[in-house]
Amino acid sequence: MGLQASGDTGVIVVAAGRGTRMGTVESKQYLMLDGKPIFIHTLEVFHRHPSISQIVLVTGEQDVDRCRSWIAEYGMTEQIQVIPGGAERQHSVRQGLLTLSTPWVLVHDGVRPFVTREQITACCEAAKAHGAAVLAVPVKDTIKQADEQSWVAATLDRRSLWAIQTPQAFRRDDLLAAHERAAEEEFVGTDDAMLVERLGIPVKLVEGTYDNIKITTPEDLDYAEFIRGKRLRD
């Protein structure tokens, strides 16, 4: 049964990955940042946002109870539902969609704790104006396309290239239809926008910031501590 909605936007925060690139026994979303689990920092941003009426945290089945305990410790028990995810991120998002009842939905990585209230608002507004929207930043590096033997096949025009972040915002019915089609066709996409694009729905890019990082490596964690310290000083 889905959560009861009082507003029009819900959030699926995905935190079910094991995070092997971090090189730690603990999953990356549960590592501490400034004395608090990374995913709690993430949840707090959405919990404070006035447009968000429902939050679903999707995590590994073995982690549901401890996530609930952490959420209770930080006073968010009434607003956040914790559910077990699936084998793939895509399956976890679909479980979250079946739990939400809001007409609009955001999907966000649990290990992106530096998303701002303004970015969430911009993404929501763009989705409502255009049907779907994703947060992204222009690519700064030169990008080369390689062939199967690792030779340069082409140099891409970076003026048209964007690095995609989260949140990504959609009509719930559109995203659910996209996930159902992907499941029927056994298609696994790299993000939710890719699934929606397969339905022919255009997706608007919303410019974000480069510090909305996804914490996946030890170097990312070091940089995250720097960003956190800088924001506290500012």
Output the pLDDT for position 40. Answer: 97
For residues 136 and 209, give the distance between their C-alpha atoms in angstroms, rounded to a whole number.
8
The mean predicted confidence, pLDDT, of the chain is 92
Angle (CA) 121-57-203 rounded to 5° is 40
Number of independent structural domains in the chain: 1
Look at residue 2 in the predicted model and tell me its pLDDT. Answer: 39
The verdict on residue 2 lying in a domain is: no
Nearby residues of 162 by Cβ (< 8 Å), 6 or more positions away:
136, 137, 138, 139, 205
Give the range of the structural domain holding residue 156, as residue numbers without chain letter: 9-226
Task: Please list the residues that pair with 83 across neighbouring strands.
Answer: 58
Q: How far apart are the first and last CA of the chain?
A: 42
For 25-37, write each residue's pLDDT tens digit.
Answer: 567 899 999 999 9
- State the CATH number of the domain containing residue 31: 3.90.550.10
Query: What tokens does 83 get?
Result: 């559910």
